[in-house]
Amino acid sequence: MQEVLRHRFDRWTPREWVATATHGPLKFAPGTRQKYRGINYVPAALIIDEVTGRPYGEAVAARVLGPPGPARTTVPGDDPRVRGRHVHGYLAEADGRLRDVTVYDQSPCRGEGDMISTTKDLDRMLVALFSGELLPPELLEPMFTLPPEEVRMLDGSPARYSTGLQRATVSGVALWGRTGETYGYKNAVFSTRDQRRRFVLAHHPTAVRGDEEGRVAARVADLLSRDPSTGRRPA
């Protein structure tokens, strides 16, 4: 944790951050395996900069976040603070004391995870996306299309990432959505494609690394996938 605190205000340019991912050899030939790397969104933001002629955050705010879009979602840019009412994020030291890490330079996450939102706004965004209000059908369909079956994750499990979403199959029910995290914060937003079952989860792990937050999301997804009349998993 001390390493995290020591570098919490380091500032990176997008190109500097992308360069950190290109130092070693490829782990697999393109199109043969799958591994999630959030850094892929950083060059996507750079493309938006070039195409629109303004910072990607301004483009997103104008095209997606403005009326009638989410009301309390922001792209803070270079500001490391969280404005307005918010929950603080903490990390636990070795002796159990908690250190406030709410103020944190998010420049390495530009385009990947630097947006600040609320559970209500995340739910509204998911509904708008799945309902086809944000994208035409030809762009929405790839978000629900996984790679061919022969493409596997590095651990051998089936590929689970599409174009911008990930699929989690729980008790035979396919949920689509995304997770997000930074130190002291963790969230997940998932839904069945027909939106009959969906959830938004925000919680605050205090460990730098750990599996507990994944287990929390899995428990919520398990409850959501059960038969609402019996509380049981599908047969």
Q: Which residue has the tokens 């969906």?
A: 198
Cα distances (Å, whole numbers) of residue 172 to 130, 132, 144, 192: 20, 25, 16, 11
Residue pLDDT, tens place only, 57-105:
999 988 888 765 666 888 988 899 998 889 999 999 988 899 999 999 9
* The model's pTM: 0.87
pLDDT at 235: 54
pLDDT at 213: 55
Q: Which helix (H) or strand (E) holds 69?
A: none
Q: What number is the average pLDDT over the span 9-30?
A: 89
Spell out the residues 6+ positions from residue 159 whose beta carbon is closer than 8 angstroms to its own. Answer: 34, 146, 147, 151, 152, 153
**Residue 56, pLDDT above cutoff 90:** yes
pLDDT at 234: 61
2-225 belongs to which CATH class? Answer: alpha beta
Residue pLDDT, tens place only, 102-138:
999 999 999 998 999 999 999 999 999 999 999 999 9
DSSP for 95-119, written as a single string: TS-EEE--S---GGGTTTT--B--H
Give 7's Cβ-side CA count (13 Å radius).
9
pLDDT at 122: 94
From 91, 111, 113, 112, select the one nearest 100 (Cα to Cα): 91
Instruction: Place 233 in a pLDDT band, splitting at 50, 70 and 90.
Output: low
Backbone angles phi, psi at 74, to 5 degrees: -135, 160
What is the DSSP pairing of strand 33-34 with strand 152-153?
Answer: parallel
**24 Cα distance to chain centroid:** 25
Residue pLDDT, tens place only, 188-223:
999 999 999 999 999 899 987 666 656 777 777 777
Exposed, middle or buried: residue 122 (CB in 10 Å: 0-12, 13-18, 19+)?
buried
Q: What number is the average pLDDT over the span 140-153?
A: 96
pLDDT at 92: 92
How many whole angstroms separate alpha carbon 171 and alpha carbon 27? 32
